[in-house]
Amino acid sequence: MWDGRYLASTVRGAPLAPTGRRGASAPTTRHGYDVWVASGYIAWLTDVGGEDVASVGGKNASLGEMLRSLGHAGIRVPEGFATTAQAYWEFVDANQLRDKVTAEVERWRSGDSTLARSGRHLRQLFEDAAFPDAMAEAISGAYRELSERAGSGEVDVAVRSSATAEDLPEASFAGQQETFLNVRGKTAVLDACRRCFASLFTDRAISYREDHGFDHLDVALSVGVQRMVRADEAGAGVMFSIDTESGFPHVVLINASWGLGEAVVSGITDPDEYVVFKPLLGKEQLKPILSKTLGRKAVKIVYGASGGDATRRVRTSREERNRMVLDDEEILGLARWACTIEDHYGRPMDMEWAKDGETGELFVVQARPETVQARRDTALLKSYRLVGQGRRLVSGLAIGDAVATGQVCNLHSPQDIDRFVDGAVLVTEMTDPDWVPIMKRAAAIVTDHGGRTSHAAIVSRELAIPALVGTGDATETLDDGQEVTVSCCEGSEGFVYEGVVDHEVEDVDLEDVPETRTKVMLNVGEPAAALRWWRLPADGIGLARIEFIVNEYIKIHPMALVHFEDLSDREAHDRIAELTAGFDDKTEYFVEMLASGIARIAASRHPCPVIVRMSDFKTNEYADLVGGRQYEPDEQNPMLGWRGASRYYHEGYQAGFALECRAIRKVRDEIGLDNVIVMIPFCRTLEEADRVLDVLEGNGLARGSNALEVYVMAEVPANVILAEEFSQRFDGFSIGSNDLTQLVLGVDRDSDRLHALFDEHDPAVTRFISQLIRTAAEHDRKVGLCGQAPSDDPAFARFLVGAGIDSISVSPDGFIRVKHHVAAAEQEMGSGAGPAASGR
């Protein structure tokens, strides 16, 4: 089934033979082996496979399948054996448990007992039961055999539950039964097996079977006994062959923490997170690791003290907390294994892995189908419609097209985050990047100030939550704790209604999205948002904003990292030291974090083009970054001040821009995402364009090298007036309609009072746009537009199509709407419309 798209390889050492010992073979004639298997109570993992779920459960069947079928690919699985379903049922019958189980379940169903009381009673029945002599001898004998294979008197083992209906795509029993680690000795193994049987009746397992229609006496339990991997002296974790939040299928997600993997599985620690891009794993010289996030890893689980508990929790050292558990080669090795396992099973997989601290070898200790994303309908999106009525309390510009309800949380500062309740409606004067942690937890956002291009509007679109901006008086009108409905589904104006107003949600079938000659792309700044919208059939990303990544993830002014030792602000110095823990070179923190954010965005659309706009902060925004005030002037009008291209070659920021370039090089050359196109914002003059291109080349980003394209934002009238000359310097244009409209009409785009004058459809603006498209076409240069107007105004979309624009880039929430606008415009204008007619 493996088609060669992804390469599998070992990380360290040679692959295991079927028994799990390198160079050994399975003992097929030894007396003990035959006796234990012949009993019907025991199966060696090397003898079972995917067809044996009914006998040894999903977990053990999967382990055997990997041992039997994937050893040639270098995937290591610890050897071991499993008790069979036959053993479970004979244990139940020998102890006369069937009628007792049925009676206790009926007591709970009838209300004569609580789930907790019945569950406790059922587990006690199993724990007090005894193994039949022949079964006890079979388990003990298999354990002796396993110990002999390991060359140990009594090998330490992991004893895991494996239900016969678990780990199926339609029925996830994972995590409902118990696992016992560092079990040593015959008596301890038998006791752990008995406790595994009992764990078939944990409260959560009883409730799950009841909810999903499984009879409690139709599910058996197999126990897997595996040689322990000494992860207590190294690390362990979980990995998925799919993004667990968005369902994006082209990444492997790996979590890692120090010590035994139970710390990650149980959620008691904050692990490292690594994300690897699968399609580039087979390319030589590339390291397609999209991101590496250092977890706090405050505690770990290790072997217990001699004579005490089998395992114990201990605090990690400062050095462990500040260091990644896995190096790059180990991350890539595990990712290759994940791809091989996924390909073998033909579906996304959820796996557990462990690293042996004594040998340095990596092992896969579990593999099961991923079940959450597998049940999602990937072809549907949501649309909303009010069906009830309520008293209107506030109105403003609608952002998005959703409806949300919740209690008002009226905040004046992001410092009040402790007051915010998840799922509340955030009401405030306006937002900036400091508000993002709260915004992510909100059901909706309502602000007094701001327009369609304000921070609140942009972030809410990317978070896919409704927002009302520019209401004027929401903070005065809406009271804390008041139940409200926020509606953005009624057109360009949105409303806050009193109480909960009934609404309907309609699924939009993505399979019905029309095809268009004009490319429709996305505007994205938030890396997580890029993966969230991967299902949209977009033609790429027309605008990826670096400043969003800097604001939310990096938080530090780049020059404060370049000159870290010279910082005069001690508070900023200490904060930077905290944020960059684990980075000896502080500038490497900026490069690593920025590259990670860009890479996630670029991977979401690979191999389609992703246009990354270099930083376009205003000086006041830069000053708000940690350590920023030391490096930023106080400007009267930052919107027209030291921003965009003018910073890149200036001695006050040139070293900071070099860090941005290093991040782009890492994404394109090291990770391999060469679909990234660089775009220069707010480039005022031809001389400035030449200076910026020289700086790019000096930082290893020469236009044309490694097929690198460099675009320029067309947002200053000079870019249009001198379009022919700019065409000689850049590979394409991206119209920033917000700034272009502002500068052509002389209107502050964020002014509440002037928002009626801010109109991209004004003839002065549209003539500039048409002129640019014509001139660019004459010089074989592409032109796109990244702005909100096509989403809100079908007439503007028709205008752009008629003018022959190559692409329109919109926020994800407006994509479907714009696709239909563009398709209608192309159909209305016939085959002669759009970019196809322009000859490009």
Would you please indicate which residues are annotated as catalytic (active-site) residues?
A: 455, 786
Give me 587's structure tokens: 């500038």
Give me 785's structure tokens: 């537009």
| Helix H or strand E segment including 381 | strand 380-386
CB 376 within 8 A of CB 242: no
| Helix H or strand E segment including 594 | helix 586-603
**CA end-to-end span of the chain, whole Å?**
41
Task: Give the other-Cβ count within 10 Å of 480's Cβ.
Answer: 12
**Residue 745: Cβ-neighbour burial (10 angstroms; 0-12, 13-18, 19+):** middle
Contacts of 521 (CB under 8 A, 6+ apart): 538, 539, 540, 541, 542, 543, 609, 784, 786, 807, 808, 809, 810
Three-state SS at 239: strand
For 155: left if phi > 0, alpha if psi spans -120 to 50, otherwise beta; the answer is: beta
CA distance 614 to 545: 7
- The helices-and-strands tally (H runs, E runs) of the chain is 31, 30
The type of residue at 374 is A
3-state secondary structure 629-679: CCCCCCCCCHHHCCCCHHHHCCCCCHHHHHHHHHHHHHHHHHHCCCCEEEE
CB 36 within 8 A of CB 142: yes
CA distance 476 to 372: 42
Three-state SS at 73: helix
CA contacts within 13 A on the Cβ side of 259: 28
β partners of residue 237: 256, 353
CA distance 135 to 88: 10
Give me 287's structure tokens: 């390291």
DSSP state, 453?
T
Give me 655's structure tokens: 């070293």
CB 509 within 8 A of CB 553: no
